[in-house]
Amino acid sequence: MFMEKSAYCLCTGDAQGGESHLWNAISQYRGLPCVRMLLWLILKGKILTNSESFRRHMSNNTCCGLCGALEEDIFHLFRDCVEARLLWAWVEDWDIAIGTFLWNIWVNRNYRLFSPDLVSPEGIYHRSMQMIEEFGRASSLLRLNQRSTPLRAPTVARWEAPPTGWIKVNTNGSRNTGTGLASCGGVGRDSESRWCFGFAKGIGLCSCLEDELWGIYEGLATTWSLSYPRVLIETNSHEARSDLLLSAVRAMRWLMPCPDWFIPSLWSIGVG
């Protein structure tokens, strides 16, 4: 929304209205993402304390549920409350600890709303320190893996045309894990990348591997019916691409429309 304040900040180069250094500090915070989000909500004044809930007509009580202060706003909850003052007195390393302690103060405050059990400041302190230690170990392992794992050049998967005189048939299968019903389909293209034919078929109940093999079978049957002498089958199934593929399809010769399917002098079959 346009306002005179936003126009002034734009003209003076202070896009955040004097708070740009705070936004930069939050964006560079090295702690957990959930803690970074909490810091952003605190800075925006969007934390639903009792005072904010009363302002939004969501509650009729502004008092602090722990110390009984008349107003629980952001400053009271995170700084002035008895629990918060005791907690901040123990903090030594303010780098990551400040965000982690704010997070656990907020979590403990919400926990008290739904449970009669009260977590003491000592418990909040130990839980915060445990989070900091776990985050430190995870960060160290991540840096170690980044140094030990060499960077790999990105690879782009793309379709490649078959040799001259060949037809490449790309097949795929799809299976509904809930019902077990499967279907298959595919498309054939020549060495000039021109579309030659396509097919799709509902199969019924079968496994994922059987689904892929049915797709290959239908591709071979369609290729044979259109009198293409050389066909290259390409599928994204690792199991179907194995050496067992051709043997499995050949074992289904009783389904073939013509016994000449597997006479090598009549046509050639390759697996990509």
Mean pLDDT value of segment 181-195? 92
Asked whether residue 162 is assigned to any structural domain, the reply reads no
Mean pLDDT of 100-120: 78
Is residue 154, in this structure, part of any structural domain at all? Answer: no
| Position 232 in a domain | yes
**Within-domain flag for 156:** no
Distances from the Cα of 25 to the Cα of 35, 71, 95, 259, angstroms: 13, 29, 11, 75
Same domain, residue pair 126 and 182: no
pTM score of the predicted model: 0.45
If asked whether residues 182 and 129 sit together in one domain, one would say: no
- Torsion angles phi and psi, residue 197, rounded to 5: -165, 165
Residues 41 and 75 occupy one common structural domain: yes
DSSP, res 80: I
- Would the pLDDT of 253 be above 70? no
State the sign of the Cα–Cα–Cα–Cα dihedral 112, 118, 121, 122.
negative
185 in Cβ contact with 199 (< 8 Å): yes
Between 114-128, 129-143, 170-184, 211-225, the lowest mean confidence (pLDDT) is in 114-128
Has residue 92 got a pLDDT over 90? Answer: no
Residue 152 lies in a domain: no
Tally of domains within the chain: 2
The CATH number for 219's domain is: 3.30.420.10
pLDDT tens profile 24-81: 777 777 778 888 888 888 888 888 888 988 999 888 988 888 788 888 898 988 888 8
> Of 92-101, 173-182, 225-234, where does mean pLDDT reach its minimum?
92-101
Q: Is 203 within a domain?
A: yes
What pLDDT is recorded for position 1? 46
User: Residue 267: which domain range?
Assistant: 167-271
Sheet with strand 268-271: strands edge to edge: 195-205, 181-189, 167-175, 230-235, 268-271
Mean pLDDT is highest, among 176-180, 201-205, 263-267, for 201-205
